[in-house]
Amino acid sequence: MDRRHFFATSSAAALAVAAERSPVRAEVNETLRVGLVGCGWYGMVNLRNLLIATKGNRKVEVVAVADPDAKHLEATTAELTKSWGQQAPATHADFREMLKPGKLDAVIVGSPDHWHALHAIAAMNAGADVYCEKPICHTIDEGKAMLATAVKTKRVVQIGTQRRSTPHVMRAKEFIRSGKIGRVGMVKTCCYYNMRSTENPPDSAAPGSLDWDLWTGPAPMVPFNKLYHPRSWRAFNAYGNGIVGDMFVHMLDTARYVLGFGWPKRVVSTGGILVQKSAKADIPDTQSILLDYGDLSVTWDHRTYGQPDDAKYPWAVVFYGEKGVVKLDVDKWEYVPHFNAGGAKAFEDKADLLPDLADKDQPAHIVPGGLGHMKNFLECVGTRKAPVADIAEGYISTATCLLGNVAMKVGRSLTWDEKAQLVTGDDEANKLFRREYRKPWIYPGEPGA
C-alpha cells in the first residue's frame, strides 16, 4: 500500500499524500553518516543490526548519539569504539543538539513511545531517513503528523515491525496466499506473557546520570520511579500504549502483511486492571479487542496472569481458513489441516536461526528478521523506494491498535471512517486521538512546532 493512496484527510486539515518519492540523491555519500536517538535496549539492537548489515559493503560512521541518560551514552560509546572499531561519536543529552548540524544521512529512533513523533519528525526535517521503532506514535494524531512529514520531506521511513522481514513469516505468507488453507474468515492474535510489573516501589530521586526532565519530555511530570527507567516504562500509559501498543502491533501488522488488509470498519474492546490491582503499573492486565473488517474478523487477547491458551503459542497470530489453520509466532509456524482436507498432515516450519549474531538482549530467533529489516531499510535509502514496513503501513497498524485502546476507554463500539480518519459521530473518542503536551514541548502540527 502506497502512502499516497490510503490516507486523504484528517479532521483538522487535508493532508496531501499524492506526492512522488524523491529521486536518488544526486550525490550518494561514500560514508553513511548515522545518528541514534535512544541508546537503551532496542536502540542499540537496531544500531548493531545496521553495523552488521553494512559490514564489508559500505562504510558507516556513527557520527552522533543522543540520550538523556549519561550512562547510556557512555556504554554506547564504549561499545562502538571497542567492539565495532568506530571513532567515538559526539554525545548529546538533547536530541536537538544532535540534529542541529543537519549532516546525518540516517537516524535510528529507539526512544520510548512518547518521544517517537518528536524525534522522527525532527530527524526527517533535518534531512535524514529514519528507522523508527514501533509503535510509530503514542497518539493517533502524532502518527498523522509523522506520515505528513514523511510525505512532505520525501524521506524513507522504516518502522520496526520486523516480522515483515522474517524468513519463516515470509514463507507462511506464501503458503497462505497460495490458497492452501482456503478463504480466511478469522484471525486470532494473543499475548499471555507477564509483561506488567506487579511491584509498587516508592518514588525516589532520579539517578544522577539521568536528566529526568528531558526524559519525561512532553509527558506529564511526575516524581521518578525505578519502574519508569530503564525499560519498564511500557507499563505506564504516560509513556507507552500498554501491551496492545507493544505486542498487538507486531501481530496485527503480521496479519496485515500476510493477508493484505487495511483499516477496520468497527472496533470493540473490553478489559482493564482486573487482577493485579496492587501494582503501580496502570496499563490493563486484561484486554480483548474485536476488529470488524466486514468479510474478516480479527481479535486480540492479552492476560498478564494465568496460563496461555496454547502453551506452544503464547504470543501468536492464528489464521483460520476453510481448509485448515496456520499458527504463527516469532520462531515457527505450522499448518493444521481440517479432517476433511484430503488426509494432509500437519507440519511445522522453524525459524532460520543465526545464533552467532545473537546477543543477550536479542534472542537468536529474532536476529534474521531484525537484520533483514535493516538491510531492506538500507537498500531503500539508496533506491528511494518505499521499504517493506513503510510509515504508511506502520501508521495503519499502530492507529488500529490505538483505536482498540480508545474503544476500551469510552466503553463502546467505534465505527471508523477511513477517509476522514475519524470515529463516526463520537467526539469523545476523537478527542482521545491527542493529548496535551507539557510545556515547552509543542504538539506536532501546532504553531511553533
For the residues 394-422, what does the mean pLDDT come to? Answer: 98
User: What phi and psi values does residue 221 have, to the nearest 5 degrees?
Assistant: -80, 125
CA distances from 109 to 47, 131, 195, 416 (A): 10, 6, 22, 29
Tell me how far apart the alpha carbons of residues 45 and 1 are, in angstroms, rounded to a whole number.
28
| Cis, peptide link before residue 440, omega less than 30° from 0 | yes
For the residues 91-104, what does the mean pLDDT come to? Answer: 96
Q: Are 337 and 344 in contact (CB under 8 A)?
A: yes
Q: Are 32 and 397 in contact (CB under 8 A)?
A: no
Q: How crowded is residue 160: how many other Cβ atoms within 10 Å of its Cβ? A: 26
Is residue 227 classed as helix, strand or coil in its secondary structure? coil
Regarding predicted confidence, which is higher, 46 or 357?
Answer: 46
pLDDT grade for 351, boundaries at 50, 70 and 90: confident
- Flag whether pLDDT at 52 surpasses 60: yes
Tell me how far apart the alpha carbons of residues 337 and 38 are, in angstroms, rounded to a whole number.
45
Q: How crowded is residue 5: how many other Cβ atoms within 10 Å of its Cβ? A: 11
Predicted pLDDT of residue 177? 98
- Flag whether pLDDT at 126 surpasses 60: yes
- The packing angle between helices 249-259 and 391-410, to 10°, is 130
Q: Are 51 and 84 in contact (CB under 8 A)?
A: yes
- Flag whether pLDDT at 220 surpasses 90: yes
pLDDT digits (tens, 9 = 90+) for 142-162: 999 999 999 999 999 999 999
- Name the CATH superfamily housing domain 3-164+369-391: NAD(P)-binding Rossmann-like Domain (3.40.50.720)
Tell me how far apart the alpha carbons of residues 190 and 212 are, in angstroms, rounded to a whole number.
34
Percent of the chain that is helix, strand, coil (3-state, to 5): 35, 20, 45
- Total count of residues recorded for the chain: 449
Predicted pLDDT of residue 358? 58
Sheet (strand 266-272) strand order: 347-350, 332-337, 324-328, 315-321, 184-191, 297-303, 286-292, 266-272, 414-417, 422-423
Predicted pLDDT of residue 343? 57
Predicted pLDDT of residue 447? 80
Q: Are 236 and 245 in contact (CB under 8 A)?
A: no
Collect all residues with Cβ–Cβ distance below 8 Å to 244 and sequence separation of at least 6. Answer: 284, 287, 289, 300, 302, 401, 402, 404, 405
pLDDT digits (tens, 9 = 90+) for 285-333: 999 999 999 999 999 999 999 999 999 999 999 999 999 999 999 999 9
Partners of 297 in beta bridges: 186, 292
Q: Are 109 and 37 in contact (CB under 8 A)?
A: yes
Q: What is the mean pLDDT of the chain?
A: 91
pLDDT digits (tens, 9 = 90+) for 359-375: 666 777 778 899 999 99
For the residues 336-361, what does the mean pLDDT come to? Answer: 73
CA distances from 282 to 240, 400, 412 (A): 11, 21, 21
Q: How far is CA 110 from the centre of its chain?
A: 10
- Flag whether pLDDT at 73 surpasses 70: yes
Please give the share of the chain, as a percent, with pLDDT higher than 70: 91
pLDDT digits (tens, 9 = 90+) for 1-38: 444 444 433 333 333 332 343 434 434 568 999 999 99
CA distances from 55 to 48, 50, 227, 278 (A): 11, 8, 36, 48
Q: How crowded is residue 288: how many other Cβ atoms within 10 Å of its Cβ? A: 17
* DSSP 8-class letter at 433: T
